[in-house]
Amino acid sequence: MKIHRHDVVIVGGGGAGLMAALYAGKEVDTAVISKLYPTRSHTGAAQGGIGAALGNLENDSWEWHAFDTVKGSDYLADQDAVETMCKEAVDVVFELEHMGLPFDRTPEGKISQRRFGGHTNNETKQPVLRACNAADRTGHMILQTLYQQCIKHNVNFFDEFQMVDLIMEGAECRGVVAYEIAGGEIHVFHAKAVMLAIGGWGPVWNITSNAHTLTGDGAAVTLRHGLPLQDMEFFQFHPTGLAKLGILITEAVRGEGGVLINGKGERFMPKYAPTVKELASRDVVSRAIYLEVRAGNGVDGKDYVHLDITPPVVNKFFKEDDSRTPNGELRHIDAEFVQTKLEDITDFCKTYVGVDPTIQPIPVQPTAHYAMGGIPTDIDTRVYASENNEVAAGLYAAGECACVSVHGGNRLGTNSLLDIVVFGRRGGKTMAQDVKGKDFAPIDAEKAAAAVVTRFEALRNSAGTESVSAIKEEMQLLMTDKVSVFREKAGIAAAVKQLRDLKRRYRNIKIEDKGKLFNTDLLEAWQLGNLLDLALVTAESALARQESRGAHAREDFKKRDDQNWLKHTLAYKDDEDHVTLKYKPVTITGYQPKERVY
Ligand SMILES: Cc1cc2nc3c(=O)[nH]c(=O)nc-3n(C[C@H](O)[C@H](O)[C@H](O)COP(=O)(O)OP(=O)(O)OC[C@H]3O[C@@H](n4cnc5c(N)ncnc54)[C@H](O)[C@@H]3O)c2cc1C
C-alpha cells in the first residue's frame, strides 16, 4: 500500500475534473486520479458544441439562454444555478478561446455559432445560433486545451488509477482509496478536499452513446456511504443514435438542417412540435420517434427512423418546403458543407453502418445519453449530505455525475460542456479557498486500504457460477425494456424486482482472471456492482414519481403534476437492496412553471 498527500484530489480527468484541477492547481497542491488517460475521457467524444449567448451572429442574451434551460428542464432545474451557468457561459467560452481552443470562426474572425434543440430567440420563438463549436469535435478540443493548461500549471496526474472508495469520517471526506490498474496495488490518497468528476452511467442501458468506461463509480460509492443521489429517474435518451449501435449522431446535424423521416417517407416532427420541429428538446423528439415506431411507421417496420441531411435533389422524400431549415432558411447543405462541418459524423456513418450521409439517410433510434441526476451539490460544487442541504465537508462533485441542478428533468444540447467548465471552474476555486489554512484531518490509512483489499480479494477469489457479462446484459435489456423513454407502474415494479434478483445473483459471480496485472475482469465485476446500484435507484425513483416530466414519461400518469411533484427526489440506499426516497423543493427565482410548447 502506498500513501500520497495532496491538498486537493480530483477523481476524473474529463472536462469537469481538468477545469477544477486547473483552478485549484494554480493555488494549492492538486492531484487528478483518472482511470483513463485524461484525454481519453468521454468529454472528448462530445461533438456538437458548447452553449453561450455570445450573440455573435444574431441577437441573443444570457437571460434567454436561462429561460430556455429552465423550460427545457420541464421546470425541475434550480433556477439560481441555471442563472449562474448561463451568465458565466459567455466569459468561460472566451476564457477557453484565450487558452487556445480552436473554435470555428465567422468570416470576421469571431467565434462561429450553430443552432441546437431547445435554444431559441425568446421573442420570435425561432431557433437561435448559440452553440460555439470546433467542427464536430468540440469536446475533444476542450479536453486537449485543458490538459495542456493543467500540465503547464504542474497539476499531478495519476493516470490509470481507479478510485474504489472514499475515506469518510462521519459525513466528512478525508481522502480516496485507489487501485492502480497496471499492477493491482492499493494507493491511499490523503486530502483536504476531494472532488468527484467521474462522468455518467449510460451503460445501465443496452443502447447508449456513452463510453463503455462510464460506470458511475463515484456515484455508487457515495450511495454506499449513506449519501443521497438526486433525481435519478431523469436519464436522457438522445433521439439520434446510430440504429442498433447507439453511437451518437450529434444534434448539430438537425441544427444544420437535417430532418427526421419515418418509414412512410413523412417528415413527422411538425406533427409533434409545429414551431421548432426537429429542434424541439430531446425528450420531445425521442418520444416522437418512439411513437412513430410504435404506430408501425419505423423504416421497414423496424425500430428506427431516418435522419436526412442529403441535398433535396438526391432525396426522394423531400417536398419543396422541406428543403428549408426549421428557421425557414433554405438548407445550405452540400457535400462539402457536410464534410467540413460534420466530418467525424460522416466518418462514423460510413464506418459503422456503411451509409454516406451526403447521399443516403442515416438510420437512427433513441440512445441512452446523459444523467440529469446525480450527486447533489450547491452552486460551488459542495456535496449535500441530505435533503436538508447539510454539506458533506471535504467532498465536492462536478460535471455529469453531479446534480446542481441545472438540467432538471431534461438537459438541452450544449449545456453539458457548459456545465462542466462553469462548475469545474467554480469547484476548483472553492476547493482552493476551503483548504487554505486547513490541516490534514487524521485518517487510518491501513484500515481504509484493508476494507478495499478484503472486498477485492473476495471478488477475485469468488468461485460462484454467475457470469458478469450475462448479468450485465440482462440488466441492460431490462432497463431498456422497462425504464427508458416510456415507463409505467407494472413495468417499473417488475424491473425493481428483477434488479434485486440480479443483485442477488451478482453475489455469486465468477472471475476468470485471478492475477494482478491489468485485471480488467476484476474491475469489470466491481463496476457491474456500481451499475446495478444505480439502476436500482433509478427504477425506485421512477416508480415513485407519479407524473410525466422531462425525460420521465409515465404512460399511467401522462401529465406533469406541479402540485405534487415539483420537487427533487433524493434516494438513499440503506442496505444492499433497500432504497429510501426523500424530497426537497425546487428553487424558483422568477420563472413560474408553465406548460411547455415547442
Ligand atoms: C457521444 C457524446 C457526445 C456529446 N456531445 C455533447 C455536446 O456536443 N455538447 C454538450 O454540451 N454535451 C455533449 N455530451 C455530454 C458531455 O460530453 C458530457 O456530459 C461531459 O463531457 C461529461 O464530462 P465529465 O467531465 O463530467 O466526465 P467525463 O468526460 O466522462 O470524464 C469522466 C472521468 O472520470 C474518470 N473516472 C471515472 N470513474 C473513475 C474512477 N472510479 N476512478 C478514477 N477515475 C474515474 C474517467 O477516467 C474520466 O477521466 C456528449 C456526450 C456523449 C457521450
Residue 533 lies in a domain: yes
How many C-alpha atoms does 545 have within 13 Å on its Cβ side?
37
Query: What's the mean pLDDT in 169-184?
Result: 96
3 state SS of 51: strand
Is 12 a pocket residue for ligand 1 (Cβ < 6 Å)? yes
Q: Note whether residue 22 is domain-resident.
A: no
Q: Over the stretch 359-386, which tens digit does the pLDDT of each residue have?
A: 899 999 999 999 999 999 999 999 999 9
Under the banding of pLDDT at 50, 70 and 90, the label for residue 338 is confident
Task: State pLDDT tens for residues 115-141.
Answer: 988 999 999 998 999 999 998 899 999
Q: Is residue 373 part of a domain?
A: no
Same domain for 546 and 455: yes
* Residue closest by Cα to atom 31 of ligand 1: 14
The atom of ligand 1 lying closest to the CA of 369 is: 53
Q: Distance between CA 237 and CA 483 in Å, rounded?
A: 11
Q: Which residues contact 170 (CB under 8 A, 6 or more apart)?
A: none
CATH number, domain with residue 470: 1.20.58.100
143 falls within a domain:
no
Boundary-marking domain end, from 308, 333, 367: 367
Greater model confidence, 224 or 322: 224
Number of domains in the chain: 2
Over 50: is that where the pLDDT of 313 sits? no
Q: Are residues 455 and 362 in the same domain?
A: no
For 119, the enclosing helix (H) or strand (E) is strand 113-120
Predicted confidence band of residue 575 (pLDDT cuts 50, 70, 90): confident
Instruction: Compute the distance from residue 371 Cα to the ligand 1 centre, in Å.
Output: 10
Q: Give the mean pLDDT of the chain.
A: 94
320 pLDDT exceeds 80?
A: no
Among the ranges 306-310, 512-516, 584-588, which has the highest mean pLDDT value?
A: 584-588
Tell me, yes or no, whether 363 and 252 share the same domain: yes
Residues 35 and 29: beta-carbon distance below 8 Å: no
Which of the listed residues 367, 395, 422 is the one where a domain comes to its end? 367
The catalytic residue among 174, 282, 287, 426 is 282
Query: What average pLDDT does the segment 64-90 reach?
Result: 98
Q: Kindly report the CA angle at 277 between 273 and 281, in degrees rounded to 5?
A: 75
Residue that is written with C-alpha cell 448559440 in the block:
130
**Domain assignment present for 455:** yes
Indicate whether 277 belongs to any domain.
Answer: yes
pLDDT (0 to 100) of residue 59? 96
Q: Which residue reads 443552432 in cell numbers?
A: 115
Provide the 3-class DSSP secondary structure of residue 542: helix
Contact between 255 and 235 (Cβ < 8 Å):
no
In whole angstroms, give the CA distance from residue 205 to residue 238: 13
Alpha-carbon span 152 to 18, nearest angstrom: 12
State yes or no: pLDDT of 78 exceeds 60: yes
- Residue 463, pLDDT score: 83
Nearest 10 degrees: CA dihedral of 531, 566, 582, 401? Answer: 30
The reported pTM is 0.95
Backbone angles phi, psi at 118, to 5 degrees: 80, -10
CA 228 – ligand 1 centroid, Å: 21
Q: Quote the domain boundaries for residue 324.
A: 242-367
Of 332, 352, 367, the last residue of a domain is 367
Strand ranges across the sheet with 362-371: 235-242, 362-371, 305-308, 259-261
Residue whose C-alpha is closest to residue 532's, from 553, 503, 556: 503
Q: Does the residue 372 lie in any domain?
A: no
For ligand 1, pick from 22, 32, 41 the residue to mutate: most ligand atoms within 8 Å of CB.
41
Q: Mean pLDDT, to the nearest integer, of 477-501?
A: 96
250 & 353 share domain: yes
Interval 440-480: pLDDT, tens: 999 999 999 999 999 999 999 888 999 999 999 999 999 99
The CA 148 to ligand 1 mean position distance, Å, reads: 18
- How far apart, in whole angstroms, are the C-alpha atoms of residue 12 and residue 399? 10
Quickly tell me which residue has 423543493 as its cell: 585
Measure CA 113 to chain center.
Answer: 22
CA distances 335 to 32, 343, 346, Å, are 42, 10, 10
Asked whether residue 21 carries a pLDDT value surpassing 80, the answer given is yes
The gap between the terminal CA atoms of the chain, to the nearest Å, is 57
Q: Among 17-21, 325-329, 511-515, 568-572, where is mean pLDDT lowest?
A: 325-329
Pick the residue whose CA is nearest to atom 3 on ligand 1.
46
Q: What is the CATH number of the domain that holds 345?
A: 3.90.700.10
pLDDT for the residue numbered 53: 98
In a domain, 286, yes or no: yes
Catalytic residue at 294?
no
* Residue 354 sits in the same domain as residue 468: no
- Reported as a single tens digit per residue, the pLDDT across 414-439 is 999 999 999 999 999 999 999 999 99
Q: Please report, as a single letter, which amino acid is at residue 211.
A: A
Residue 309 pLDDT: 86
**Residues 250 and 362 both lie in one domain:** yes
Is a pLDDT exceeding 80 seen at residue 312?
no
CB within 8 Å of 355: residues ≥ 6 apart:
349, 361, 362, 363
Question: What are the grid coordinates assigned to 409, written together?
Answer: 428533468
Do residues 358 and 248 share a domain? yes
Q: What is d(CA 518, CA 479) in angstroms, rounded to the nearest whole number?
A: 30
- Residue 332: predicted pLDDT: 52
Q: For residues 396 and 442, what is the distance between their CA atoms, to the nearest angstrom?
A: 19
257 — pLDDT class (breaks 50, 70, 90): confident
